[in-house]
């Protein structure tokens, strides 16, 4: 199976670069499924129904989220109705939406996608490791699922790496989101799980993690806030991770993808 995981899409510049590049990537990489983190899609904070529909129309199959998943309150009215949108699994019982789901590709292959959120330097949610363990036990790789992807939305690189090793040999891909900067550690772990600490953001990188520089600098320099963060509006880079799986759903290949904007360009060659 060929999987593309797209990192946090930041506002309209991020959406625009994904719209411009994704169709070509689907053909070029013969992709079976595309997953994207959409928690920053609506002007940098949250996800609206209109933007979710825009994502699906451009070829995204599953949307994961993170700590900003409910910033746009309208999501509470539609997240239960669309199983292609996930919020972090380890929110308390009774929270609208779902944190994991089994999907079927156009070829009939089954892929489990799990979205969890870290707890180090973030909200004190339920244990993400216990949540992932329950999903892996209920839907084992190579049995109920042909592939498994875990979006670990977390601040601490150590917690993300811990999740990678925790799932090694039991998932196809563990990928981090939330930091908005692509890391240079794409690898296949000893047990066969593809891993990257952060997929990066689809954003203008002449920014502070995708946001216009003025407000973040004001806060760093003066310790005062004079306005709301807004996405930087220059040309954006699409940042993603490409994974190919083989026997029993384990990874045979992982490579970063970067297209457009300021960052050095890289696209896998089949």
Active site residues: 68
Query: How is residue 68 written in tokens?
Result: 């900003």
Whole-angstrom distance, CA of residue 9 vs CA of residue 39: 7
Pairing between strand 173-177 and 194-196? parallel
Looking at the DSSP assignment, which residues form a beta bridge with residue 31? none
CA-CA-CA-CA torsion sign (244, 27, 270, 178)? negative
Closest CA to 215 of 202, 199, 200, 231: 231
C-alpha distances (whole Å) from 185 to each of 7, 141, 189 are: 15, 24, 11
Q: Which residues contact 45 (CB under 8 A, 6 or more apart)?
A: 68, 71, 72
The dihedrals phi and psi of 178, each to the nearest 5 degrees, come to 100, -35
Element of type H or E holding 132: helix 128-138
C-beta of residue 210 within 8 angstroms of C-beta of residue 204: yes
Q: Which residues contact 207 (CB under 8 A, 6 or more apart)?
A: 213, 231, 232, 234
Whole-angstrom distance, CA of residue 120 vs CA of residue 78: 29
Whole-angstrom distance, CA of residue 70 vs CA of residue 92: 14
């Amino acid at each position: 199976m060929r999987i593309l995981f797209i990192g946090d899409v930041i506002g309209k510049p991020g959406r625009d670069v994904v719209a411009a590049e994704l169709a070509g990537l689907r053909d070029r990489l013969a992709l079976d499924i595309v997953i994207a983190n959409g928690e920053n899609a609506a002007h940098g904070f949250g996800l609206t129904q209109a933007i979710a529909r825009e994502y699906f129309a451009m070829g995204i199959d599953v949307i994961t989220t993170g700590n900003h998943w409910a910033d746009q309150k309208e999501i509470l009215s539609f997240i239960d109705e669309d199983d292609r949108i996930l919020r972090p699994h380890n929110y308390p019982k009774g929270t609208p939406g779902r944190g994991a789901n089994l999907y079927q590709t156009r070829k009939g292959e089954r892929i489990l996608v799990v979205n969890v959120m870290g707890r180090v330097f973030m909200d004190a949610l339920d244990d993400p490791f216990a949540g992932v363990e329950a999903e892996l036990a209920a839907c084992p790789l190579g049995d109920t699922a042909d592939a498994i992807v875990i979006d670990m939305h977390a601040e601490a690189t150590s917690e993300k790496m811990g999740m990678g090793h925790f799932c090694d040999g039991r998932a196809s891909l563990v990928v981090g989101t939330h930091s908005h900067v692509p890391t240079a550690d794409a690898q296949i772990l000893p047990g066969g799980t593809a891993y990257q600490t952060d997929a990066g953001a689809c954003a203008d990188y002449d920014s502070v993690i995708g946001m216009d520089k003025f407000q973040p600098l004001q806060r760093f320099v003066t310790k005062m806030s004079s306005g709301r963060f807004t996405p930087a509006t220059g040309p954006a880079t699409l940042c993603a991770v490409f994974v190919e799986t083989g026997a029993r759903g384990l990874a045979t290949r992982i490579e970063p993808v970067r297209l457009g904007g300021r960052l050095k360009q890289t696209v896998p060659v089949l």
